[in-house]
Amino acid sequence: MTTPDIRVFDLPAMPAVLPSFARAALSATRKPHGAISIPHWSARLAGLSFDRKHLGDYNALCGFTRPDIVPMTYPQALATPLFLHLMTRPGFPLPLMGLVHVRNAVEQRREIRVDETLDLQIRLGGSREVRTGLEIDLLSDLTEANAEVLWRATMTVLKRGRKPEGASKAQPPAEASLLAQYLQIDAPEDIGRRYAAISQDYNPIHLYATTAKLFGFPRAIAHGLWSAARVLALLQSRLGTTPRLYDLQFKQPLLLPGRAALRFAQEQSRIDLALLDARGAKVHLTGTLR
């Protein structure tokens, strides 16, 4: 039996992203064969504080309006350099460029204030073979000084393999017709580059049509975490309480530039939602906020 590769990296500061992106580009030469084993690695950064200017830029881009409160999608934007640090290390078996975000779940016990100092830990979670390739869970925790988890996120990414025979394009779920309320979301051509400047996630599928085409997309696609944040900014005030769980499934990419229709329905402190293309023919994401 193979001994799992289990390592914990305690970091004194947030890693620089430029060296990591250089290694990420070089990771294109990784050619895994046979069964793929994802190492059980984690990285910890103690004493994380929030930069008000950076948070303000994020809020302006995504539509949040409270400068004193950290949106529940924001810590994932901060975690990008930590994941790059782990996934570009020797021993991680997959190329990074072209990974596609397929699911995202965020939980928080309470609102996080911008003046708090917390510990951030990220880790590489489980992986599984699916019809379209290999899925990997990327986990993040924010903890208080007593080590109690205040915020937790699970981001699932897909390393695409061969498209399965008989695969069809995702259609709007039947329940989307029951989501009676409607809002419009515009995604300009440069939103991927603007989000990358904040999150430091320069995955080429989000930047330009020319770079996205290298990975099989006709144009650049909106970053899943930007879409998630934009939807959250539009809906969270309707709950009337602090959101505790935000669970999304990404279906088809939102091509840039693009316009989408946010359909939703609310029952007490729960909102079911679906983001469709402007014609209502394709589904970009579905989920629940509560």
Question: Which residue, 201, 75, 197, is CA-closest to 139?
Answer: 75
Residues 6+ away with beta carbon under 8 Å from 246: 72, 73, 104, 105, 106, 107, 228, 232, 287, 288, 289
Q: Are 48 and 119 in contact (CB under 8 A)?
A: yes
Q: Is the pLDDT of residue 224 over 80?
A: yes
Residue type, 21: F
pLDDT at 3: 65
pLDDT of 132-167, one tens digit each?
A: 888 999 999 999 987 889 999 999 999 877 554 444
Taking the mean position of all CA atoms in its chain, how far away is CA 120? 16
Distance CA 11, CA 9 (A): 6
Distance CA 254, CA 272 (A): 19
Q: Are 75 and 119 in contact (CB under 8 A)?
A: no
pLDDT at 16: 85
pLDDT at 177: 55
pLDDT at 166: 46
Q: Determine if residue 280 is left, alpha or beta; phi over 0 gives left, psi from -120 to 50 gives alpha, anything else beta.
A: left
Q: Is the pLDDT of residue 240 over 50?
A: yes
Question: Which residue, 59, 88, 53, is CA-closest to 72?
Answer: 59
Helix (H, G, I), strand (E, B) or coil at 17: helix
pLDDT at 64: 97
What average pLDDT score do residues 25-39 get? 75
Question: Which residue, 282, 259, 263, is CA-closest to 274?
Answer: 263
Distance CA 61, CA 18 (A): 23
34 band by pLDDT with thresholds 50, 70 and 90: low
pLDDT at 168: 45
Ranking 31-45, 163-177, 215-229 by mean pLDDT, the lowest is: 163-177
Q: Is the pLDDT of residue 281 over 90?
A: no
pLDDT of 246-276, one tens digit each?
A: 999 999 999 999 999 999 999 988 999 999 9
Higher local confidence (pLDDT), 284 or 147 = 284
Q: Count CB atoms within 10 A of the CB of residue 193.
A: 15
pLDDT at 203: 84
pLDDT at 183: 93
Burial 223-262 (b: 16+ CB within 10 A, else e): bbbbbbbbbbbbbbeebeeebeebebbbbbbbbbebebbb
CATH superfamily of 6-289: Hotdog Thioesterase (3.10.129.10)
Question: Which residue, 75, 222, 186, is CA-closest to 138?
Answer: 75
The full set of domain ranges for the chain reads 6-289
Question: Which residue, 263, 10, 260, 247, is CA-closest to 121?
Answer: 10
pLDDT of 80-132, one tens digit each?
A: 999 999 999 888 888 887 678 899 999 999 999 999 999 999 999 888 888 88
pLDDT at 2: 60
pLDDT at 174: 46
Question: Which residue, 282, 79, 99, 87, is CA-closest to 205?
Answer: 99
Higher local confidence (pLDDT), 226 or 37 = 226
172 band by pLDDT with thresholds 50, 70 and 90: low
Question: Which residue, 254, 137, 236, 246, is CA-closest to 195?
Answer: 254
Distance CA 91, CA 32 (A): 11
What average pLDDT score do residues 3-22 get? 83
* 229 token code pair: 């944040």
